[in-house]
Structure 1
Amino acid sequence: MLSIRPANSAEAQDLARIGLAAWEKAIRLWGEDAERLRENAKEAYFDFCTRCWPDILVAEWDGDLAGWGACEKADDFITDLWVLPEFQGHGMGTALLEKIEEGIRDRGFATARLDTHARNAGAIKLFKRFGYRVKSYFVTYSEPLDEDIDKVEMIKEFEPGAIASEQGSEEDGTYSL
C-alpha cells in the first residue's frame, strides 16, 4: 500500500540513493554519460538529503522507500521529485506531486513552479498531464555537476486565470509532448 509521510534524518543516504537511481535512468534515456557525472551527482544528492530532510516528503510502498519530493524553501518551487525506477508508473510520483502541491496551496500560493532538464521528455510530459505548462527555456550552470544544463521552467496555476498572464509566456509548441 502507498503512503506519503515526512522524511527523517536517518533516511538521508537511502533518499540520496533513490534520487541518484532515478536521475541516472532519466539522463541515460537522452544519451548522457551517467558514469561521467555519477560521483558529483551522488555527492549532491547526499548533501541535499542531509541538509534538507525536513523539507522532503517520502513515498513508501508497503513500508519500502519508493520515492521522494521536496519544496526546499517552503515556497511555491518544487525542487525535487524522484521515484525509484522499479516503482515508476505506479502512482508514486503522482501521489508525491499532489501532496507537495497541497502544501504549496496551504501556504497561500496561487501557483506551483518547477524546472527540469529540457531533454527530460518523460518529466515534461508527466507535469503537463497535471496542468503544468512550459514557461521558459534557460541554460544554467550546475555547480555539483560542473557543467551547463539546458532546462525548462514549468508553472501550474491552481485556479487558471487567477493571476495575470505574462506576455510572451505562451508555449510555441517546442515542448508540446
Structure 2
Amino acid sequence: MTVADHTVVGDVGFAAWKSSNAFEDVYLEPQVIERVRRAFSVFAAETTSDVHIAEREGRVIGWAARDGAPDCISDLWVDPAHQRRGVGRTLILHLLDIIADEGHPLARIQTHASNAAAVSLYERCGFTIVWQGKEFSKSMGVELEKVHLEKLPG
C-alpha cells in the first residue's frame, strides 16, 4: 500500500462510518465526528497490521484489518456506494482464511450493537454473538453499546 493509499483508506473508512445509522445523535456531536475522522486519517499510516484492500477498477472500495490480536478482525469498512454487493463478505472470508491458515482456533470481530447491517453480515459469515454490553470507544471518546462475535475458522 502506498502513502497515497493511506488517505484513501481513511476516506473510505470515514465515509462508511458516517453513512451508518448505528450511532445515536449524542455520538454525532462535532467533536466526536472530528475524533473519528482523525482516527481514520492516521490508521493506515500508524497501524502495525496489514490492511487488506478491496478494489474495483483500480479504486479502493473497501478494506479490513487485524489491528491488535491476530485472531481478531478489528476493522471492516466498505465505501457506501459499494455496500451490499459482497465486498465486506469477501474481505471477511479472506481474513478468516488467513486466521485459519495461521492456526488460530477462533476468529473474533466486534461492532456497535445497533449496527444491524454489520451484525447481520457477520452472522451470515458464521459468527455468533458471545457478549453484549457497554464499552469505551477510543476513536469516538464515548461509551458505546457493543457486541462481540466469534467463529470457529474454516
Taking structure 2 as the reference length, what is the TM-score of the superposition?
0.90
In 2, Cα distance between equivalents of 1:144 and 1:132: 24
For 2:93 and 2:34, the matched residues in 1 are separated by 31
- 1:107-134: per-residue Cα shift (whole Å, max 9, x none)? 1112110110011011001111111000
CA contact (8 A) 1:55 1:70 kept: yes
Contact 1:115–1:151, Cα closer than 8 Å, also in 2 = yes
Q: Output aligned runs, 1:1-177, within 5 Å.
A: 7-26=1-20, 28=21, 31-32=24-25, 34=28, 36=30, 37-52=32-47, 54-73=49-68, 75-158=70-153
Deviation at 1:144, TM superposition (A): 2.6
Consecutive unaligned residues of structure 2, counting only runs of 5 or more, are none
Query: 2-side partners of 1:154 and 1:121: how far apart?
Result: 13
Shift of 1:35: 5.4
Amino acid at match of 2:51: I
Q: CA RMSD in A?
A: 1.8
Q: How far does the alpha carbon of each residue in 1:44-102 deviate from its partner, in whole angstroms, 9 at most, with x for none?
A: 11222211275100000111110000011361000000000001111111111111111
Q: Distance in 1 between matches of 2:102 and 2:122?
A: 21
Contact 1:59 1:96 in 2 (8 A): yes
8 Å Cα contact 2:22-2:112 kept in structure 1: no
Work out which of the two has the higher radius of gyration on C-alpha atoms and give 1 or 2: 1
Identity of aligned residues (%): 30
- Greater length-normalized contact order (CA 8 Å, ≥ 6 residues apart): 2
Letter aligned with residue 16 of structure 1 = G
Distance in 2 (CA, whole Å) between partners of 1:24 and 1:53 is: 25
Give the deviation of 1:29 after TM superposition.
5.1
SS of the residue corresponding to residue 17 of structure 2 reads: helix
* Structure 1 letter corresponding to 2:9: L
CA 1:74/1:107 → structure 2, altered by over 3 Å: closer, same or farther? farther
For structure 1, the 5+ residue unaligned runs are 1-6, 160-177
Aligned to 1:167: none
